[in-house]
Copies of this chain bind each other. A is one copy, B any other.
Amino acid sequence: MNQFTKPAVILFDVNETLLDMTPVKRKVNSILDSRSGFRIWFGLLLQYSLVENCTNQYHDFATIGNAALDLAAVALDEEVGEHEKKAALSLMGHLKPYKDVKPGLQLLKQQGLRLATLTNSPQQTLMTQLSNSALTSYFEANLSVDAVRKFKPAVEPYQHAAAVLGVAPSEILMVAAHGWDIAGAAAAGMQTAFIRRKGQAPYTLAPKPDYSCRHIKDLANTLSVLQPGNPEAVSAR
């Protein structure tokens, strides 16, 4: 692994890494009448996306999100109507970036780095999210697992991203606020940066992330001291 070699492309996860899901969290907690409603729902959504990976079927992330809301409602012994479900899920398209994101992306671009996104969300949701959060212009490519019909952290979406971007996986730095995403990128041979958003932690049974940063600006500052292709040993931990 080219740890501490300056990457050619920075590849970002989107939900909870760039975009703040707080409005969805509040809404889901409200309709499930539980302070943990969002966590239970989003956990089921992630779990069942991998159930689909493991049973060789594919529904997009929005469709699984809808089914997972039913599972969460049963778990919490609540009734949630179709209208409420739709209202909660539609908020996914209208999230705002965390305040460190735009300045951080700007700093990364100033270093001449190529920027792209890779998400479990459907392609259309991704484009809506980037447009509504005014992030579109920062990225040269925006990729959804839709293209390969396997959810992260399976190896296929990461390999697909490397192929589309025309670089080796080792030249890509995957940036995410989820331990599972970091684990998948590392398994695919990418460099990894974990963003320490509130409530998130790396998965201790997977390889340690190459970088661990408070936010995107912090990551940009860390990378700014690396020379292109120079395996300088700079620790960001």
Contact = CB atoms under 8 A, between A and B. Distances in A.
20 contacts: A36-B36, A36-B40, A43-B43, A46-B47, A48-B203, A48-B205, A51-B153, A51-B203, A53-B54, A54-B154, A54-B155, A55-B184, A55-B186, A55-B187, A55-B206, A70-B201, A70-B204, A74-B201, A75-B199, A76-B199
Interface on chain A toward B: helix, strand, loop, or mixed SS?
A: helix
Contacts of A179: 71
Interface in A152-210: 153-155, 179-180, 183-184, 186-187, 199-201, 203-206
A184 B77 contact: no
A145 B74 CA distance: 28
Interface of A: 34-36, 39-40, 43-44, 46-48, 50-57, 59, 63-64, 67, 70-71, 74-77, 153-155, 179-180, 183-184, 186-187, 199-201, 203-206
A154 B43 CA distance: 19
Given A47-B50, A67-B205, A74-B200, A183 B55 contact: yes
A48 B200 CA distance: 14
Nearest to A46: B47
A55 B204 contact: no
A46 B70 CA distance: 18
Given A51-B153, A51-B206, A75-B200, 18 more contacts: A34-B36, A36-B40, A43-B47, A47-B47, A47-B180, A48-B180, A48-B203, A51-B184, A52-B205, A54-B54, A54-B153, A54-B184, A55-B206, A56-B155, A57-B187, A57-B206, A63-B205, A71-B179
Contacts of A63: 205
A104 to B, nearest CB: 23
A51 B180 contact: yes
A53 to B, nearest CB: 6
Contacts of A183: 51, 55
